[in-house]
Structure 1
Amino acid sequence: MLKGENRIINIVSNDRPISKETSRVLKQKLEKAGYYVPNEFDSNGDLIICVGGDGSFLRTLHDNNFPSMPIVGINTGHLGFFQEVSPYQLDEFIFLYSKGEYTIQEFKLVEALVCTKSHCIELLGVNEICIKGDKSRTIHLNLSLDNSFIEKFSGDGVLVATPAGSTAYNYSLRGSIVDPRLSLMQITPIAPITTTAYRSFTSSIIVPETSTIKVYPEYRFENSILIVTDGEEHKYDEIEEIQLRMSSLKAQVLRLKNYDFWNKVKEKFL
């Protein structure tokens, strides 16, 4: 096996016993191969290995401010769509990584500029950013795409997904699965109301990555809504406008050379 020449590899794990044990074994194997594994996260590292499921994978990116180093996942969770390696493949992974037999897949993030009466906040999502009603109430949102008004949406909310997130919450809402080689955003309704009183799109809308989606809440019973980024809730009062667009920031995901997106889709969903 080729030596790691003391390159720094960060290991991040959730608290499940299987993840902790896998991390312990992985650290031993990496150090034997010549890599340095710090006890605390090192922002100057060459790689992040996340041991856990898809939730752990996303939290690692958020908690470390979307670092420029690539990340790879070892699946000790359930679905493991982002994860590249199984716990029994540790030796194989280290061997292939040491030989450079991998590629780096870049995922563009979606960003939201949330403006209240007093200030604006920027949020980022790997999979998606959702706009939902607080306390599970119906919300009413005026949606515009660039300079064109689309609709007044009524329902539980709307989701703006990246191609990477098309197989996540978006898919459960019957949004489209998108090949990650495409650059676009997908606007997917969450429980839209379509009656004689309210008219909302009932299917997702695909828009170019250069688009800006603008959302203007229309308050009736409360003055706060939830912004959910990759499952993490953010609540702000008196939101006046939300602008969503593709971010210039990217997440870098390490893929072994035999990785194929559509084989992964068949394996996990069909």
Structure 2
Amino acid sequence: MKNRVITIHTNDTPASLKTKKLLAKKLEVSGFIVSESLEGDSELIVCIGGDGAFLEGIHKFDFPEIPFIGINTGHLGFFQEINPNQLADFIFHYKTGKYRLQTYSTVKAIVTTKDNQCFEHTGLNEIVIRGELCRSVHLNISIGGSFIERFSGDGILVSTPAGSTSYNYSLGGAIVDPRLKLMQLTPIAPMNTTAYRSFTSSILLPSDLSLGIIPDYETKHGIKITTDHLEYTYNDIDHITVEFSHKIVNLLRFETYDFWTKVKSKFL
């Protein structure tokens, strides 16, 4: 009989560690093998915590195709499907196949430096491009190879539909149904004066278009790239390409899940 391995990732809060211990016990009683690492025969990854722990788990395991499910012991818990008091129901529904998979697209930034080195960073929620040390930046932006604007301000955010309810939403961006495959470009504190002209609202882009960014180095300060919660700083960028990634994230959803009901319960 094939081993049924479930991987558990958790943050270090007392509530999460307590939930992890209880879940592991219930899973083992139900015939599963529990692991903290991603095994070759792992069939599900459970992330315990808030949305931060969920994103941390996705990056830790490098965007595997194995489904994820979240148990919310944090605050908002937008990605999380279940609460700690629903562990028995979760195991029952999972064993009986009463669930479906929801596929989320990801976005990637390809950073090319002036000495022709390339670095690739992937995000489930968003990619943020801004100045180092909270300094304003000037970015020459093109869409699909056509020059659009010389952006001036704190930076820009490129979100997926999954990330539309995160930082993008706090910047005034639109909430996007995850069934739509698009990128949303949202400015961060854009300058719009007689000296600087920038778009002040979000731009929605189809999945087959890429975003080109060339920093305008008027100073020697670097550019910071943030993917979800991970930060990288470069001082010698030639250009950045932001586009959809081939990596996907599969979330386990039960029959009662509805995206807009979730939005209403978390934001209204």
TM-score range with shorter-chain normalisation?
over 0.9
Decide whether the 8 Å contact of 2:145 with 2:212 is kept in 1.
Answer: no
**Are the structure 2 counterparts of residues 156 and 32 from structure 1 closer, same or farther at C-alpha, using a change threshold of 3 Å?**
same
Identity of aligned residues (%): 52
Question: Aligned-pair distance for 1:66?
Answer: 0.7
For 2:40 and 2:124, the matched residues in 1 are separated by: 19
**1:46 counterpart SS class:** strand
Preserved CA contact (<8 Å) 2:109 2:242: yes
Q: Post-superposition shift, 1:5?
A: 6.6
Kept after mapping to 1: 8 A contact 2:125/2:228: yes
Amino acid at match of 1:261: F
Q: Which runs of 5+ in 1 are unaligned?
A: none
Match of residue 89 from structure 2 = 92
Distance 1:129 1:39 in 2: 28
Determine whether 1:183 maps to 2:181: yes
Q: Deviations over 1:176-218 (max 9, x none)?
A: 0000000000000000000000000110000100001000000
SS at match of 1:37: strand
Please report how far the alpha carbon of residue 221 of structure 1 lies from its aligned counterpart in structure 2 after TM superposition.
1.7
The amino acid that maps onto 1:34 is: G
- 2:39 alignment counterpart: 42
Looking at structure 1, the residues matched to 171 and 221 of structure 2 have their Cα atoms a distance apart, in angstroms, of 26
AA aligned to 1:191 is: A
> CA offset at residue 67 of structure 1?
1.1
2:194 is aligned with what amino acid? Answer: T
Contact 1:23 1:51 in 2 (8 A): yes
Correspondence list, 1:2-41, <5 A:
6-41=3-38
Structure 1 pair 51–181 and aligned structure 2 pair: CA distance change class (3 A): same
Listed one character per residue, the Cα deviations across residues 145-175 of structure 1 (whole Å, up to 9, x for unaligned) are 0121110000000000000000000000000
Give yes or no for the alignment of 1:62 onto 2:50: no
Q: CA separation in 1, counterparts of 2:61 and 2:234? A: 23
Q: Distance in 2 between matches of 1:126 and 1:112?
A: 12
TM-score normalised per structure 2: 0.97
Q: Which residue of 1 aligns with 2:146?
A: 148
CA deviation vs aligned residue, 1:94-141 (integer Å, no higher than 9, x gap): 000011000111111101100111201011000000001001111000
Partners of 2:40 and 2:76 in 1: CA distance:
28
Alpha-carbon RMSD across the aligned residues, in angstroms, is: 1.1
Q: What letter matches 1:227 in structure 2?
A: I
SS in 2 for 1:30: helix
Q: Give the number of aligned pairs.
A: 267
Partner of 1:264, secondary structure, is helix
TM-score (norm 1): 0.97
